[in-house]
């Protein structure tokens, strides 16, 4: 059962977005070093909970009302933070694919990451476009290996 079917898009977005602040509270509670907690606060940057924003707008909500759907994170600065942000977004989106072909996986990676690149989330990041292209290539390869077709094992005849 999907608990979000009983909630408004704003309520759902707030629940999803809260995992970042919850993570930061846990990091403080357990005295996690800043070098690690920076990954928590930056893994969504200031992106939007797009599924719930789109649902809200499609139900007649005001498209200018973006604040309830926007993460309150920080932009990543380190290459490693960028890779984690990209991996989180691609992994989540990959679960929604209806078909796992090289073409659909490639399109997914390109689409998801172009959104991350277009909203200036990486303007403070110490990463080059060449390195981003390498990460994209690796994600496509890894997702292709994870979701490759498998043979059906025959049952033993009696």
Asked if residue 41 has pLDDT above 90, the reply is yes
Q: pLDDT of 59-80, one tens digit each?
A: 999 999 999 999 999 999 999 9
Phi, psi (deg, nearest 5) at residue 153: -75, 130
For residue 111, the model assigns a pLDDT of 95
Give the rounded percent of residues in the chain with a pLDDT score beyond 90: 83
Q: pLDDT of 104-117, one tens digit each?
A: 999 999 999 998 88
Mean pLDDT, all residues of the chain: 94
Q: What is the mean pLDDT of residues 75-89?
A: 96
3-class DSSP string for 21-49 = HHHHHHHHHCCCCHHHHHHHHHCCCCCEC
Q: Band of the pLDDT at 94, cuts 50, 70, 90?
A: very high
Q: Could you give the count of Cα atoms lying within 13 Å of 102 in the half-sphere of its Cβ? A: 3
Q: Which residue has the higher pLDDT, 148 or 129?
A: 129
For residue 153, the model assigns a pLDDT of 86
Q: pLDDT of 123-139, one tens digit each?
A: 899 999 999 999 999 99
**For the chain, domain boundaries:** 1-74, 75-158
């Amino acid at each position: 059962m999907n608990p979000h079917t009983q909630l408004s898009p704003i309520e759902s977005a707030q629940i999803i977005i809260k995992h970042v602040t919850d993570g930061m509270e846990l990091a403080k509670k357990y005295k996690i070093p800043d070098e690690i907690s920076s990954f928590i606060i930056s893994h969504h940057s200031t992106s939007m909970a797009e599924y719930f924003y789109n649902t809200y707008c499609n139900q007649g909500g005001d498209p200018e009302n973006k604040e309830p759907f926007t993460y309150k994170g920080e932009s990543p600065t380190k290459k490693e933070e960028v890779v984690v942000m990209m991996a989180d977004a691609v992994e989540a989106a990959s679960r929604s694919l209806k078909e796992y072909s090289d073409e659909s996986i490639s399109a997914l990676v390109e689409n998801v990451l172009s959104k991350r690149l277009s909203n200036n989330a990486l303007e403070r990041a110490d990463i080059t476009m060449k390195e981003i292209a390498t990460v994209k290539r690796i994600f496509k390869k890894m997702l292709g290996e994870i979701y490759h077709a498998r043979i059906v094992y025959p049952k033993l005849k009696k």
